[in-house]
Amino acid sequence: MKEFITYIVKNIVDQPDQVKVEAIQGHNTMIIEVKVAKTDTGKVIGRQGKTIQAIRALVVAVASRAGVRVTLELLEADAPSPVHTTV
C-alpha cells in the first residue's frame, strides 16, 4: 500500500524527492501520512479536492480487498499537523 501511494504521489508533484509516505498499522486500520513540499500541496489536493479524493478512492478500493480500513493524511513537509484528513 505504501509503495502504491508513493508511486502515485511522486508522479503528481514537482519535487518527488521530498515525498515521504509513512504507514502506521493498527489491528484493522492503517493511517497513511503523505508528506510533500509546501509548493506541491495544492497539486496533490487538486481543484476542489478532486485529486486527493481520487487517490483516497483508489486507496480504499485496494484496502478493502485486504479487509483493512485506511485513513490518508496529507501533510506539508515542515508541518506536523494534517492539512486534510478523511476517508
Q: pLDDT tens digits for 36-79? A: 999 999 999 999 999 999 999 999 998 888 888 999 999 877 65
**pTM of the entire structure?**
0.78
CA distances from 17 to 9, 12, 36, 62, 81 (A): 11, 12, 9, 25, 21
Domain that holds residue 67: 2-85
Please state the domain count of the chain: 1
Question: What DSSP designation does 54 have?
Answer: H
Task: Tell me: pLDDT of 86 over 90.
Answer: no
Q: Which of 74, 1, 6 is nearest to 42 (CA)?
A: 74
Write the CATH number for 76: 3.30.300.20
